[in-house]
Amino acid sequence: MKRAMLVGAAVIVLGVIAGIVILGSTPGGNGILSIGITDAPAENISHIYITISSIELQGQDNSTTVYSQVSIQFDLLSLVNVTKMLGDVSIPARNYTMIRFAVTSAVATLGGANVTLNVPSDQVKAPLHFQIQPGKTTTVVLDVTADMTHISASGNLRPVVTVKSVKGPA
């Protein structure tokens, strides 16, 4: 009889603990993030060819989530008044505070000649805040401005990245 009462009490305690954990936890699962890039016109530059080897997201808790590890190459200046969508990717639901682009190559065409550019730390960072909710889509569009004022005499490309829009989660 005592044994049955102990087992019953243990089951009740475990049930209460499980209920607290379930009620106190944040919803898990994945949502969809869609990232787009656009550009403003640039003076004295006809092309800026960028190769991005990966895109990572930084969570509010400093965790890192990979958005893409597929190499993407495009002419940044072909995106004037156009948005290049980089894809819809399922990622963990949480709050994010930064998008980091790993840049492996940058070449500008200035006055008809190609010039290899350096990207300091081989990264372009876009600090912003967005949320991913389970089963919902969030779309982030970034405006990358790269003109002569952002290419130094030593050939460093320091694009200015601003948030054009964040839509969602919807």
pLDDT per residue of the chain (170 residues) written in tens, 0 to 9: 443 333 333 333 333 333 333 333 345 799 999 999 998 777 778 889 999 999 999 999 999 999 999 999 999 888 988 999 999 999 999 999 999 999 999 998 888 889 899 998 999 999 999 999 999 999 999 998 876 556 767 788 888 888 998 998 88
- pLDDT for 149 equals 55
Domains, the chain, ordered by start: 29-167 (2.60.40)
Q: Phi, psi at residue 30, to the nearest 5°?
A: -120, 155
Ramachandran region, residue 96 (left: φ > 0; alpha: ψ -120 to 50; beta: rest): beta
For the entire predicted model, the pTM comes to 0.77
- pLDDT for 150 equals 67
- pLDDT for 2 equals 40
Tell me, letter by letter, the H, E, C secondary structure of the chain: CHHHHHHHHHHHHHHHHHHHHHHHCCCCCEEEEEEEEEECCCCCCCEEEEEEEEEEEEECCCCEEEEECCCEEEEHHHHECCCEEEEEEEEECEEEEEEEEEEEEEEEEECCEEEECECHHHEEEEEEEEEECCCCEEEEEEEEECCHHHECCCCEECCEEEEEEEECCC
